[in-house]
């Protein structure tokens, strides 16, 4: 698999001493379709058995292409929204059906979506929440269907779906299934291991900070890393420090205690001394960087969650960061495919602009003949000057 790196700030890799990695969807990637389908099925089962949703919910099919990361759930209105970086609504769906532009204008007028308003909106910002958006849309549709007054309001539906996903993560229903079928859910990528070993040959050190627990982390790392090691025997040699159940983003601003994990038995003991290479649970970034004996900007941390891995870290620590965006692959492909069309649009825009100007001049002359007369009387150099100012302001 080819990997492309985009930068928005210069990063001098010579300055970087430690490279930190998130585990899920960063160091270890998932077959997302299979995993989201599993999450969707598990949530449906739990909604029926624990929240008494109609039996029909059990049979809702999973469609991976119903949602993408970056969407926003409008919990009050039962809609899925695609918003611009400024929070303006670009497209909207009610259930799984698109809302036409006029209806959207009527519903939202000049609303700008404020994601800090968690009573009204939920952002679909992790790869683990695609199934949430899909299921929410399907349940809204089911509720709207005739005779579905046995279901709660949209707001409660959105709450129930998220609650069932959290429960599925907590009670082991998802992890248990992944553990039984690693091949189905986890991607094995020898290039990742090769890349880390190459960096280590150039004296870079590695650590993992993951929100997953030790047992699950070990399971995935044994499966996805160990078979491809050439210069090391086990992933524990590859990563100087592994911090499990880190509770990111809290890890970056709080000072929770570290627990030491015994890699053989998985048992934990309190640990208040300076950190030494090994496996830990919990803790906080400040002590971590201090005990590593490095400055924050000697660390490059790579993660896939914009809030959990990157934004909070940027606010509280001065570690350097890199964000993994798996969707960029297909986005760039689509961007390339759209190039001929974009070029055609540019040519047409170049033709359209002078035509627009002629039209505006004609309308102005009709509406305001006196002013036009005055402009005509201006010396040519002054007209040129005024035009250049107008162009500058555009």
CB of 346 to Mg ion, least distance (A): 39
Token pair recorded at residue 167: 């429960």
Residue nearer to Mg ion on the CB measure, 22 or 160: 22
**If we measure between CA atoms, which residue out of 31, 32, 69, 25 comes closest to residue 302?**
25
Whether the Cβ atoms of residue 260 and residue 243 lie closer than 8 Å to each other: no
Whether the Cβ atoms of residue 301 and residue 309 lie closer than 8 Å to each other: yes
- What is the DSSP code (8-state) at residue 128? G
CB of 220 to Mg ion, least distance (A): 12
- Interface stretch with Mg ion, choices 169-177, 197-205, 216-224, 301-309 (CB under 5 A): 301-309
- Catalytic, 22? Answer yes
**Beta bridge partner(s), residue 73:** 80, 122
Cβ-Cβ contacts under 8 Å for 164 (sequence gap 6 or more): 42, 43, 46, 47, 50, 51
Cβ-Cβ contacts under 8 Å for 272 (sequence gap 6 or more): 257, 258
Among 36, 37, 160, 304, binds Mg ion (CB under 5 A): 304
CB of 384 to Mg ion, least distance (A): 58
Per this entry, what is the length of the chain? 394
Q: Rounded to whole angstroms, how far apart are CA atoms 174 and 45? A: 12
How large is the greatest C-alpha to C-alpha distance in the chain, in angstroms?
92
Residue nearer to Mg ion on the CB measure, 24 or 74: 24
- Catalytic, 117? Answer no
Residue nearer to Mg ion on the CB measure, 160 or 304: 304
Here the contacts of 221-225 (C-beta below 8 Å, separation 24 or greater) are 221/23, 221/27, 221/28, 223/182, 223/186, 223/188, 224/27, 224/28, 224/186, 224/187, 224/188, 224/189, 224/192, 225/27, 225/28, 225/192, 225/193
Q: Give residues 211-270 in contact with Mg ion (rule: CB under 5 A).
A: none
Binding-residue pattern over the window 18 to 47 for Mg ion, x denoting contact by CB under 5 A: ----x-xx----------------------
Q: CA neighbours within 13 Å on the CB side: how many for 245?
A: 17
177 contributes a contact to Mg ion by CB under 5 A: no
CB of 223 to Mg ion, least distance (A): 17
Residue nearer to Mg ion on the CB measure, 92 or 210: 210
The distance from CA 69 to its chain's CA centroid, rounded to whole angstroms, is 6
Q: In the complex, which residues of this chain contact Mg ion (CB under 5 A)?
A: 22, 24-25, 304
The residues assigned a catalytic role are: 22, 24
């Amino acid at each position: 698999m080819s990997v492309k790196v985009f930068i928005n700030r210069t990063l001098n890799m010579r300055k970087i001493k430690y490279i930190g990695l998130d585990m899920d969807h960063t160091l270890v990637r998932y077959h997302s379709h299979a995993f989201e389908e599993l999450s969707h099925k598990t949530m449906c089962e739990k909604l029926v058995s624990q929240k008494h949703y109609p039996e029909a919910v059990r049979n809702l099919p999973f469609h991976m292409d119903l949602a993408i990361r970056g969407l926003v759930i409008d919990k009050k209105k039962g809609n899925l929204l695609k918003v611009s970086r400024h929070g303006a609504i670009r497209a909207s769906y009610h259930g799984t059906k698109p809302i036409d532009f006029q209806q959207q204008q009527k519903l939202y007028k000049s609303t700008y979506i404020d994601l800090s308003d968690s009573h009204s909106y939920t952002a679909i910002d992790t790869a683990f929440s695609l199934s949430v958006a899909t299921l929410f849309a399907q349940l809204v549709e089911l509720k709207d269907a005739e005779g579905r007054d046995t279901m709660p309001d949209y707001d409660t539906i959105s709450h129930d779906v998220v609650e069932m996903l959290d429960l599925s993560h907590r009670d082991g229903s998802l992890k248990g299934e992944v553990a039984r079928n690693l091949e189905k859910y986890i991607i094995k990528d020898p290039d990742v291991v090769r890349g880390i070993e190459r960096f280590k040959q150039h004296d870079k050190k590695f650590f993992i900070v993951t929100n997953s627990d030790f047992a699950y982390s070990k399971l995935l790392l044994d499966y996805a890393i160990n078979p491809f090691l050439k210069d090391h025997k086990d992933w524990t040699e590859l990563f100087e420090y592994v911090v499990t159940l880190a509770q990111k983003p809290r890890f970056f601003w709080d000072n929770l205690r570290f627990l030491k994990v015994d890699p053989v038995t998985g048992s934990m003991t309190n640990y208040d001394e300076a950190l030494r290479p090994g496996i830990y649970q919990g803790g906080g970034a400040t002590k971590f960087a201090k005990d590593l004996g490095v400055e924050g900007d000697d660390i490059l941390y790579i993660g896939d969650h914009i809030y959990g891995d990157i934004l909070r870290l940027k606010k509280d620590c001065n570690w350097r960061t890199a964000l993994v965006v798996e969707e960029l692959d297909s986005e760039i492909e689509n961007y390339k495919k759209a190039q001929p069309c974009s070029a055609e649009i540019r040519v047409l825009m170049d033709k359209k602009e002078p035509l627009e100007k002629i039209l505006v001049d004609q309308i102005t002359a009709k509406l305001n003949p006196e002013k036009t007369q005055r402009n005509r009387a201006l010396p040519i150099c002054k007209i040129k000057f005024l035009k250049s100012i107008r162009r500058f302001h555009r």
